[in-house]
Copies of this chain bind each other. A is one copy, B any other.
Amino acid sequence: MSDLTKQMIYDIYVRLLHLNEQKANTSLQQFFKEAAEEDVAEIPKNMTSIHVIDCIGQHEPINNAGIARKMNLSKANVTKISTKLIKEEFINSYQLTDNKKEVYFKLTRKGRRIFDLHEKLHKKKELAFYQFLDSFSQEEQKAVLKFLEQLTSTLEAEQTDGTPDKPVK
């Protein structure tokens, strides 16, 4: 096994992760571009708010704790974002039980337009990704799938017990 290939894979993998962390900006610009093309004038100002709308659209009615868990955000952060989204009329809040504290969220029509726009952009990215994969043979695709599956299970194991050097079984 050539160490150089392994070093190149490691370096490019770290680079890919950094690019992905920085892509929040690009995603927002792409979203604004898509919205302009569809004459959607009012848009939340950051990707996290757009992803909260997406999460509500996927799981409504859903409460603060449910959103926090699904998006790995703090409840305080979800409260801050949802309060703003209510004020901007992208979502409404409801009480489903007598418990006044238990508030659930649903999208407004305005929020649904953002949800649909986000879905459309995701679909576009998914299709672009499939087109990208067409340049790989079936054998190459199998190797990539094996790599991603094993790496994901390693990261999941790490995040449950926090040991970075758990050998891959």
Q: Which residue of B lies closest to A129 (CB)?
A: B10
17 contacts between A and B (CB under 8 A): A3-B130, A5-B145, A9-B133, A9-B141, A13-B148, A16-B151, A16-B155, A19-B159, A21-B21, A21-B72, A125-B165, A128-B166, A132-B150, A132-B154, A140-B143, A141-B143, A144-B147
Contacts of A130 in B (CB 8 A): 3, 6, 10
Map CB proximity to B onto A1-42 as digits: 1 under 8 Å, 0 otherwise. Answer: 111011011101101110111110110011001000000000
**Given A20-B20, A21-B21, A151-B16, A5–B168 Cβ distance below 8 Å?**
no
- Is A162's CB under 8 angstroms from B12's CB? no
Contacts of A154 in B (CB 8 A): 132
* Interface status of A99 (Cβ within 8 A of chain B): no
Q: Which of B15, B144, B156 contacts A152 (CB 8 A)?
A: B15
Q: Which residues of B contact A127 (CB under 8 A)?
A: 165
Q: How far is the CA of A148 from the CA of B140 in the complex (A)?
A: 12
Find chain B residues with CB under 8 A from A163 CB.
30
Number of interface residues of A (CB under 8 A): 65
Residue of A1, A23, A134, A150 contacting most chain B CB atoms (<10 Å): A1
Q: Inside 8 A of A165's CB, which chain B residues have their CB?
A: 124-125, 127-128
- Complex: A132 Cα to B149 Cα, angstroms: 12
Residues of B within 8 A of A148 (CB): 9, 12-13, 16
User: In the bound complex, do residue B72 and residue A22 qualify as a contact, i.e. CB atoms below 8 Å apart?
Assistant: yes
